[in-house]
Structure 1
Amino acid sequence: MSTTIERTRSIRATAPLAAWRTVDILTIAFLGAAFGIAYWGWGLAYQAPSTALTTIFPPLTGITAAPWLVAGVVGGLVVRRPGAALLCEVVAALVSMIPGTQWGFTTLISGILQGLGAEFAFLLLGYSVYGLGAAIFAGAMAAPLEAVYEWFVYWTDWGWGYKIAYLFILTAAGAFIAGTLGWLITRALAAAGALNAFPPGQELRESRSV
């Protein structure tokens, strides 16, 4: 039993948690930039699936919004310091704005709201739990503030039934798409040796040594 616990435990960032290292800052900047490029690309590609889902039931478009929640999840899982999830999502939003998006400055507002939600999830977990469940929780929490913001910016002609449905659909999609995808990306980066200076890399080394 003790071996199983040791293999599955989350490793926290080095203390003090608020003391960011240079490598933490650079990694968040790199991850945010990479996700920003991906976000921009998804902004070009999402319209077709979004339109198809809208013809079935308009709030289902929340499913296609979930990929924009991934950066905060990965930032939090990798660096594991207060502010990492928020900063990664904000950098991603800023970078995605550089080539130009149809949403303009509101892209940054969305990035802040999404990042705050993911950050709050890691805060509630005491910045000490980082397994798949934590990733799913962060993905879910990245959605509500964004959904409410979109009610009053993009979905102003919807009734409350559609708005509430959109909130639940985006939250569920955030959990299962952004959360699971964020966890898989973090695991893949660790397996590739890109996170040796971070807790995910240490967790992988410990799991292999048992």
Structure 2
Amino acid sequence: MTVAMLGVAIGVAFWGWSQLYQVLSALSAFAFPPTSGLFGGAWLLGGVVGGLVVRKPGAALVTELVAASVEALLGNSWGLSTVVSGGLQGLGVELVLAVFLWKRFGLVVAALGAAVAAAFESVYEWQVYYPDWALPYQLAHLGFFVVSGVVIAGLGGWALVRGLAGTGALDAFGPGQEHHERTAV
């Protein structure tokens, strides 16, 4: 239930971001097209936040898939390919959480999960949206996407979860319990 609720809320945010992204990416196309990767990190939040809050195998993947499905249903320019992107992004976060056996959920793990999710999505986008780009453009896009993912979804997602834990909204979950341990007198 938690991953569904997180996914729906994040999916609505994704939809809003997709509206602004259309303007920003059009502007980046005039400067240096691979810089559009700088605007992709927001779409990685679902997997990072879902994984950090629920802390169980599959939580990152399902949260990201639900969020991508909500965004697609609300309407965007990518249609159902958004769900494929969500699956790849959630899988990227899941792989990092699996490496740490779902036992570490700090800033480094969040940033690594976002970086791998960004890499998966970037490679997918090379095939679907940018097949005519030369390798240097593709690698630049990858670099920009990873930086965006680490900063927005990794650092931002980790900060968002810590902030929510501080409000008491996550008391039933690991981040809420850790917050109370950190602030205990």
Same fold by TM (over 0.5)?
A: yes
RMSD (Å) for aligned C-alpha atoms:
1.0
Paired position in structure 1 for 2:184: 209
Larger radius of gyration: 1
Residue 70 (structure 1) aligned with residue 52 (structure 2)? no
Aligned match of 1:108: 83
Q: Which residue of 2 aligns with 1:150?
A: 125
Distance in 2 of aligned mates of 1:206 and 1:174: 29
TM-score normalised to structure 2 length: 0.96
Q: Which whole-Å deviations, capped at 9, do the CAs of 1:23-56 have from their partners, x for residues lacking one?
A: xxx1111100000000001111112222233322
Say if 2:163 is the partner of 1:179: no
Correspondences of 1:28-177 after superposition (within 5 Å):
28-177=3-152
**Which structure features the higher share of helix residues?**
2
Consecutive unaligned residues of structure 2, counting only runs of 5 or more, are none
**TM-score, normalised on structure 1?**
0.85
Q: Distance in 2 between matches of 1:146 and 1:129?
A: 24
Q: What is the identity percentage for the equivalent residue pairs of Structure 1 and Structure 2?
A: 48
Q: Which runs of 5+ in 1 are unaligned?
A: 1-25
The residue identity in structure 2 corresponding to 1:193 is G
Q: How many positions carry a matched residue from both structures? A: 185
**Structure 1 residue matching 2:76: 3-state secondary structure:** coil
Give the partner amino acid of 2:95. F
